[in-house]
Amino acid sequence: MCDNGAGETDLDGVERMTNTPLRASGRITRALVLEALAKGKRVRLRFAGHSMTPLLAPGDEILVEPLPDTLRAGDVVLFRSAETFVAHRVLQARRRRKVPSVAVKGDHSLQGPETLARSDLLGLVVARCRGSSTLDLRSPPQRAVGTALALASPWAVRLASWMPGPFRRGLRRCLYRLAGLRGETGSGTMTFE
């Protein structure tokens, strides 16, 4: 799913936004991403920030597909926040007053979840490319890890609310180890190069 060595993707139908010459005009690039997802195409974006550590690190590329009909706890979704795109994990999909909503949170955050209307979501992150390796987020082991992190997240927030900083960092490392992840740096916002 990653780079095929020639600087291009080995997947058909993927709109590669990571090396677009539109860096000076972020609005145009965002519009292209939105248009591609609306047309049912997959896009690749370069990741920046730290909210999804250790799953996603600055410089990783993510493959985003249009939203499926149903979302599950543990899925990683893309949404727009102000002038940027953000990727966070779904903790819970529900209906509030007949409006579908989703509770999302960055893996690295010890703050509570953010509730978004389903209409605010742009796409589903299905893979991470780091160097020459690809991590398929739809594989059964990764689905299990995602579900475990989604289930543990509310408890970690509650527990961390009364812990001093060093204990919070230790708790975060412990949760990642239990989920089988390594402590790498990561992020929740996208950049376009």
- The predicted structure's pLDDT at residue 12: 41
With 70 as the cut, is the pLDDT of residue 193 above it? no
- Count of CB atoms situated within 10 Å of the CB of 187: 24
Could you tell me if 54 and 176 are in contact, meaning their C-beta atoms sit under 8 angstroms apart?
A: yes
More confident residue, 49 or 7: 49
Kindly state the average pLDDT of the residues 103-111.
83
C-alpha distance from residue 107 to each of 40, 59, 96, 98 (Å): 27, 17, 24, 28
Q: How far is CA 79 from the centre of its chain?
A: 9
Kindly state the average pLDDT of the residues 65-93.
89
More confident residue, 12 or 35: 35
Class of domain 14-191: mainly beta
Highest mean pLDDT among 3-17, 68-82, 94-108: 68-82
Query: Which of 23-37, 80-94, 100-114 comes out lowest in average pLDDT?
Result: 23-37
With 80 as the cut, is the pLDDT of residue 29 above it? no
- The predicted structure's pLDDT at residue 28: 64
Instruction: Name the pairing type of β-strands 133-136 and 121-130.
Output: antiparallel
| Residues 129-149: tens digit of each pLDDT | 988 889 999 999 889 988 888
| Residues 35-45: tens digit of each pLDDT | 889 999 999 88
- The predicted structure's pLDDT at residue 23: 30
Nearest to 85 by CA among 129, 135, 57, 49: 49
C-alpha distance from residue 25 to each of 17, 51, 83 (Å): 13, 25, 12
The domain locations on the chain are 14-191
With 80 as the cut, is the pLDDT of residue 4 above it? no
9: its two tokens: 């993707």
More confident residue, 177 or 65: 65
With 60 as the cut, is the pLDDT of residue 161 above it? yes
Query: How many percent of the chain have pLDDT more than 70?
Result: 67
More confident residue, 61 or 189: 61
